[in-house]
Amino acid sequence: MKAEFERIRETYLKHFPGTDTSFLDRVAPIAEEIYASLNRVSGDPYLMHALAVSRTVAEMGLDRDALIAALLHDAAGDPRVKTRLGDLWTPTVQMLVENLERLRRIRPATPTEEEYEGYRRMMLAVGGDLRAVLIRISDRLDNMRTLRHLPREEQVRVATEVRHIAVPLANRLGLQAIKSELENLAFLYLEPEAFLQLDQGVKEFERARASYVDEVVRIISARMTAMELEAVVYGRPKHLYSIHLKMLEGGRQLEDIHDIIGFRILVDSSAQCYAALGLIHSLFKPVEGRFKDYIAVPKPNGYQSLHTTVLGPRSRRIEIQIRTRQMHEIAEKGVAAHWFYKERSQKARFTDGEGLSQVDLHAGDAKFWSLAQYQTEIFVFTPRGQLVVLPVGSCPVDFAFMVHSLVGVHCTGARVNGLMVPLKTPLKTMDVVEILTSQNQWPKSDWLKFVVTGKARNKIRYYLNQVEREQLRQRGRELLERDFKRRKISLSRFLREDLVDEHLLELKCQNLDDLLLALGDNRLTVDKILAIIHPVAEKPEEPEPPREKPKNRKSRMVSGPPIAIEGMRHVLVKLAQCCRPVPGEDIVGFVTRAQGVSVHRQDCPRVVGLPPQRLTQATWILDTALGEPIRLRVVTDDRPGLLAQLSEVFAKLGINIRKVQTEPLRNNRSAVLFHFTSPRTGLEMLIRNLKKIKGVHSASKS
């Protein structure tokens, strides 16, 4: 172990020559003591992992605090660390070790690519300091190098996480060498057969082309020497995963890839880069459209180089990269090399896709490494581990609406990390949030004072507006009832739809609800309504003739839809025209003042504003002779004509479709929801026939 500590010291001194490295002599015995009883799955001492991570961190050129944190990155909870380190336990070391522990706890399950992007941004936010992120990437690198010791299932989990999180982060931070190695290792464990086949093919190609590579290097080196241009010239194979992607993208075989071997020229200055480019183009014919100047226009991660493709000896295509030694260092080590060269008068730019912006290399070290100024998001979790990304300052109500609109609408309280908190409590990254709901809860106007997301604000305003409109409609109905009763006018005849419909245009209303709303907010008066409908409306109510009580007959529902109302019999039932529920949908009844029970879908927006005390449970009555109401969900490709094919299957089986709903899905697919009354037999045949249609992926009862 002592020899390994000395190698770390030598690497550190290459970047910080002449600096005091006695801190390593103090940290080494502490690390040995803390990790003494720990072994990895392979049986190796855990200290070997800490040393491997530290060596990578030293190779990046990170500072003393980062190196100490790397050595102790798995000892955050050990009380001996702070005591034994003394003055070496600086606020920076403590922050890095604690943030590394938080990063270690991030373990995504099976996210989508969009959710992986959230996890990548979360890594930067939780890390809080670029050094913590770089140490974590170094940690994952050593994990991948020793992954062979883990069970196959764990190999796949770790390799998948690395491919989707660590690799893109390494690329964004300019760590090309680490990115390439991580990609190759993930390729090995996720697609072992393809990896081994390609690895063998590339090695055979290298052996066959070795003399050609030497020839190209010799020709270029001779011309550089003749022009008194000092340069390092070499050829190297591209890493396997990049070759694999090229083969997949173009559907090509290995022998069809022309740039498996790339050539690199390193010089001392930008001016020499362009001079070398001129020499290359005088030696070999350039391929049109294959020149890229990343010196004049660097990549977002700070990468700079000249790329050109030319026809080399015997007209073979070869790719050449020309850069300075400093550009090469930055290309391989990324952000760490930027910090090392920060005395240069330039700015480096890093991007997290939408998050990171600019880092000023002339700022103090703490400001350079800090990511706090770019943290505009928080990353919280549902109790099931689903990641939810929210703006800074978001509260549980914002979270609830982000999970689902109905969760937000019915939100009554919240638990954060297992503790009850007020709904206005600001959330923090890594919080686990559980929302409590009740069907009797609706949005409150006070919520608008503390929510920050546009989605929450819009939904709250929408529901509050619905409540206000329903209150106005109710006021309009009460005005009608009171005035009609005083005038002894038949309200029931007035409310008949055919009668009202005849005069809606004159009243400038679209339907009865609009008329009641206009009455409620004083845009209409009862006098004005009667002036228009007077001839038919002012007929007095005729008393109903007395009806004999039926003898020895079972009670039954009044004519209407087959719906049972809880606690009521012989009641008039009608379907609400606003949502028009169909058999099989979840429904709720509203006891009206003059029209019996109006039945709505449970998710009807209008239900929000109805008085809760007048809502009642309603259920469909199944007619076993006809069958049962069915909702069938069919997932299909999104293509023209497919809905007609699906409907034809129903028609051939004599099934009448009551309602059809469609919902767009990902990957150019759609979900089609059919509402119908199923025959007593034949449902299985229907599903079987639907699945035979090309483009149908699934069909099942919903």
| pLDDT tens digits for range 478-534 | 888 888 888 777 777 666 545 555 566 667 777 777 888 888 888 888 888 777 765
pLDDT surpasses 90 at 247:
no
Counting runs of H as helices and runs of E as strands, what totals does the chain give? 27, 22
CATH topology of domain 629-701: Alpha-Beta Plaits (3.30.70)
pLDDT at 138: 94
| pLDDT tens digits for range 163-192 | 988 998 888 887 888 999 999 999 999 999
pLDDT at 343: 36
Torsion of CA 313, 318, 324, 326, to 10 degrees: -140
Residue 352: CB atoms within 10 A of its CB come to 20
Whole-structure pTM value: 0.57
Nearest to 57 by CA among 46, 49, 66, 44: 66
CA distance 585 to 563: 12
pLDDT surpasses 80 at 350:
no
350-359, 511-520, 535-544, 653-662: range with lowest mean pLDDT: 350-359
Is residue 631 within 8 Å of residue 701, measured between CB atoms?
yes
Is residue 319 within 8 Å of residue 263, measured between CB atoms?
yes
**pLDDT-above-70 percentage for the chain:** 84
CATH topology of domain 2-175: Hypothetical protein af1432 (1.10.3210)
Every domain of the chain and the residues it spans: 2-175, 193-333, 377-452, 462-537, 563-612, 629-701
pLDDT surpasses 90 at 435:
yes
Q: Where are the alpha helices (DSSP H) in 240-324?
A: 240-250, 270-283
Is residue 231 within 8 Å of residue 224, measured between CB atoms?
yes
Q: Where are the beta strands (DSSP E) in 341-418?
A: 348-349, 358-359, 377-381, 387-391, 411-416
Question: Homologous superfamily of 193-333 in CATH?
Answer: Beta Polymerase, domain 2 (3.30.460.10)
Residue 203: CB atoms within 10 A of its CB come to 11
377-452 maps to CATH 3.10.20.30: yes
CA distance 8 to 24: 9
| Termini Cα distance of the chain | 62
233-237, 261-265, 568-572, 599-603: range with lowest mean pLDDT: 568-572
